[in-house]
Amino acid sequence: MFKQPSKPRAAALVLAGLLSACGPTGSTPASSDAAVDAEAAAQPVSEAAVTALLAPFEGPYGGVPAFDKVEVAAFEPAMTRAIAAGLEELEIIAAQDAAPDFENTIAALERQGSLVERVGVYYGIWTSNLSSPEVREVEPRIDAMLADYFSAKYMNQGLFGRIETIWQDKETLATLSDEQQRLVWDYYTDFVRAGAALDEETRAQVASLTTELSGRFASFSANMLHDEQAYVTWLTEDQLSGLPENVVAAAASAARERDREGAYAILNTRSSMDPFLTFSDERDLREAVWRTYYSRGDNGDEYDNNGLIADILRLRQERARLQGYENFATYALEKRVAQEPDRAMDLLMQVWPAAVARVEEEVADMQAVADAEGAGITIAPWDYRYYAEKVRKAKYDLDSNEVKQYLELDNLVDGMFWMAGQLYGFTFEPAQDVPVFHEDVRVWQVLQDGAHQGLFYFDPYARTGKRSGAWMNGYNSQSTFDGPVKVMVSNNSNFIKPDGDDPVLISWDDAETLFHEFGHALHGLLSDVTYPSQAGTAVARDYVEFPSQVHENWLMTPEVLNRFALHYETGEPIPQDLVDRIGQAGTFNQGFATTEYLASALMDMKLHTLDDGASVDARAFEQETLTALGMPQELPMRHRLPHFSHVFSSDGYAAGYYAYLWSDTYGADAWAAFADAEGGAYDPVVAGRFVDHILSVGNSIDPVEGYRAFRGRDVDTTALMRQRGFPTGSAD
């Protein structure tokens, strides 16, 4: 559950320091893409297709992306032209004779690079949502081009000299607004972090390392995508015991897509793996699916990621040292709210003992159920979800399939929109004549007090070539300094597309994720800043998840449940008894959820505070670290290193996976303000403060100050521990 910026913006954040013949047991590899790659590479490209990617957004609602005119073959030539234009713009800013000031340098940089951003919208969507052999063939080259471009930008000495002059003139700086002063600080700090203040030889080394890293990132991602698509666990009808109808239907649909009518396919993705492990009565198959999934990137073949991990760690460490930092983690956290690796580690370790202790309790409960059934087993990782579901039913009489009957996707989307209306005055109307990048995508116009506020795109279904998980994209950034620019945002999910008009019923966890990602979208839609680089979700990595964590909570409010959690056949609202059981089960399995996450977060931070990342054997380090932490044997870390895309497909979350817990700490504490408000969860005063100090300000103010203004104090961990059902250490 994380926000994914467009490719060029992501590259900028990275460089600026912000942001086998046989496979695993039970699986068969797919055919090679080599012939398709060769054919794709030979496809011609029209001038019209290139121009379409470069052209300003036109059409209704002030202009929209021309998704109906995209040709993959145009990505590379379009990006080549966009980068050339961007570099020319940089040289004009750097070489001007006028003395540097805010308008001719900082504001000019806010306008610079629009073509790269525009082409990047299309490119980012195709690599994330519509990846194909043709896309993957050009991806390494375009990523390398972008790395070189941003390196050239942030290493430009003439440009840096102008920014430095503005930053050091404190008297003139004091005449700027607070928003402008923060923007100057942002640019100055980003250029310094990228290496602009280094000598020429060192700058060249940093740029070379960054380019090398971009290639490693692309290879890691390509290997991951291969292992997610190449391995399928095939089932026959007599192997479906325990699986709910919707899981069976999804498996049948996945098999039909692969020309295996009458068979059933469990794909190597979380959305396919998770329900199978939860419900399948076939323990041998559960183990096969588990091993297939958790061995992604770790199969000892040409798609193995372990060697790439060592390369990436070495390159990061070399670059951080050249830039004057002790290690990559110190570099990565400099501009984040945590600021220092030790502070992030302290938070993780505050929660770790309670989470592990809860796992022991959960395993004991599951083992008791297995023993009572005469299963004759000891709980293993592929048993955890299955027996957790049995414990859930026994303890709370809560059947997740019963809950699903009331969680119909379209109704919940309406519920999200209603929530946004109550809190922020938004209404959502189907948009007309807006091109989309896939037939599954729907678009709404967002209005606030009757005025156009932006567009919301929703891409709900899984498909071949779409990366797993759920995320938010921004197609443009809100700003006012060259006239008002409205926002276009998208939410992207991986629900299984139904056959015909069948309803899409989702789990409670998926419903929470739906509201979470919508929180990111609202963060973008409510942005009200002057400069685009400070808009919406352009905040520190360990702060960006916080507003969306808060928005998960409105799903559970009676106002939403009574109106939108309706039985898909009868239309009756979800019974209060079932709601109560969901609430009582709210802290259930938190040992599993928190421990699997914390293990990955701790691993990430420990890797990036090593003295010598070049010597890392990823497999050995993973095992040794988990042993030292006392990791329970009954569950894995959420993301094993060979498929830890957050950390090894870009620099975005490297030494930053802790940010989810950091943000969740803020989220729990902020939700307590709503829960305790006189007007309840929809209190207009608290909602107004949330908009004024959190959602609308983006990165135009210090986030710590913004939170303090919203809450009246600094954040603390009490609400988080209480929310997860862990001891708080206080009398309550």
Q: Which residues are catalytic?
A: 517
Q: DSSP code of 731?
A: -
Return the closest-CA partner of residue 73 out of 50, 45, 39: 45
Longest Cα separation, the chain: 84
Nearest residue to 211 via CA among 125, 318, 135, 329: 318
> Side by side, which strands form the sheet with 27-28?
27-28, 232-235, 264-267
What CA–CA distance (Å, rounded) separates 516 from 2? 9
Residue 242 CB: number of other CB atoms within 10 A? 14
d(CA 599, CA 617): 18
Chain centre distance of CA 287: 28
Q: Which helix (H) or strand (E) is 109 found in, with range? A: helix 108-111
214-229 core/surface letters (b: 16 or more CB in 10 A; e: else):
bbbbbbbbbbbbbbbb
Give the Cα separation of 267 and 27 in Å (integer). 10
Interaxial angle between packed helices 200-230 and 306-322, expressed in degrees from 0 to 180 and rounded to the nearest 10: 160
Q: Residue-wise over 447-476: b if at least 16 C-beta within 10 A, else e? A: bbeeeebbbbbbbbbbeebbbbbbbbbbbb
**Residue 194 · residue 15 · CB < 8 Å:** yes
Token output for 269: 């993705």
Query: Can you say whether residue 62 is alpha, beta or left, with left for phi > 0 and alpha for psi between -120 and 50 degrees?
Result: left
CA atoms of 170 and 594, how far apart (whole Å): 46
What are the φ/ψ torsions at residue 709 (nearest 5 degrees)? -65, -35
Rounded CA gap, 365 and 377, in Å? 14
**Whole-number Å distance between alpha carbons of 129 and 87:** 29
Degrees, nearest 5: CA angle 628-270-461: 155
Concatenated DSSP letters of 207-266: HHHHHHHHHHHHHHHHHHHHHHHH-EEEE-GGG-TT--HHHHHHHHHHHHHTT-TT-EEE
Separation of alpha carbons 245 and 224, rounded Å: 29
